[in-house]
Amino acid sequence: MLTVLVLSAALALVFFYAPDDADQGFVQRIFYIHVPLAIVALGGFVVGAAMAVAHLRTRDPRWDMRSYVAIHLALVLAVGVLITGAIWARAAWGVWWDWNDSTLVSFLIIFLLYATYQPLRFAIEDPERQARYASVFAVVAGVFVPLNFMAVRLAQAYVHPSLGSAKNLPGSMRLTFLVSLAGIALLYATLWKYEMTSKYASAQLRALRRKLGAPDATARRSAAPALPPAAQGTV
Amino acid sequence: MAAELGGALAAVSLHDDYVTAAYLVLFALLLIYLAVMATKLARLERELAELNELADNRPPVAPAGAERQGEPARDSEPVGAGESAP
């Protein structure tokens, strides 16, 4: 409910409150969706890495499940970042993609890196080994995200608007941006919770099926973590 | 003058289209995600109904420790208790 309220408020602010940008005009409103999506997606990858660390420390498969869902959702948001970014680039620069822009290319590298996460999981049949290798991958890739971000920022001057420029926004634009960021972050958290609930419900159903001696028609190789009955619980 | 105004309007309209497209992307992503979640939920509901039916068709189980009158106590255990996963 809070997510719906904040997202609705963000949309209202974007279209009825925030002024047009002096340089780009109306098209700058893509900023209020593109940048929060990017921040939350990158944050999701880092959160996934932190959860993977917890899994490696505790060997609790629930942390692997949490990490998997966090990365999976961040990847979905990253698709949104790439598409909205391309649309904005076309409107502002006249091109869909600029290979000379280090921010664009670095984000694409991160996206492609995480695009290998699910195939990696799927390639490993043993659930315990799958969880361990996936966690190691999530930690290494999660460390790479901020490092890559900083390296790009320290590089030569570029045309891509930086987060630093967001600090210099006028009050109305900054408020709109912050509400949009909160809305997207809440959306991410809500979807994470829904997905976790769905995964636990599936695992409990599988356990119930085994107890009742029913054949498990849904049992198949999967990239998603398999929770043993003992590890099932609340989100 | 009219041509300039027309050109300016076309430019504004084109920029509107880009902004609309960007917000529609988020909407489409959400819609796809909801559709996937709805499919998963429908599958869970189907499985649950199937298991419910299976549980209904099982013979009733005497509570553990219950003894029938005139019969010696038996080592009774609910069906499925202590079963390990295959």
ipTM of the shown complex: 0.74
Cβ distance B86 to A88 less than 8 Å, yes or no, reads no
CA dihedral A101, A102, A105, A107 (to 10 degrees): -120
C-alpha B58/C-alpha B42 separation (Å) is 25
Tell me the average pLDDT across A3-11: 89
Q: Using the 8-state DSSP alphabet, how is residue A19 labeled?
A: P
Nearest CA among A227, A202, A229 for reference residue A55: A227
Q: Of the candidates A34, A212, A214, which has its C-beta nearest B22's C-beta?
A: A34
Positive or negative, the CA dihedral A139, A145, A148, A150 is negative
Under 8 Å CB-to-CB from A219, ≥6 apart: which residues?
A206
Chain A residues close to B22, C-beta within 8 Å: 30, 33-34, 83-84, 87-88
- Break chain A into its structural domains and give their ranges: 2-231
Q: Sort out which chain B residues have CB atoms less than 8 A from A205's CB and list them.
A: 44, 47-48, 51
B70 has pLDDT over 60: no
pLDDT in tens, A77-95: 999 999 999 998 888 888 8
| CA nearest to A201 within chain B | B44
Q: What is the pLDDT of residues A88-129, one digit of tens each?
A: 888 888 889 888 888 888 899 999 999 999 999 999 888 889
**pLDDT by residue (tens digit) across B9-34?**
455 566 678 888 889 988 898 899 98
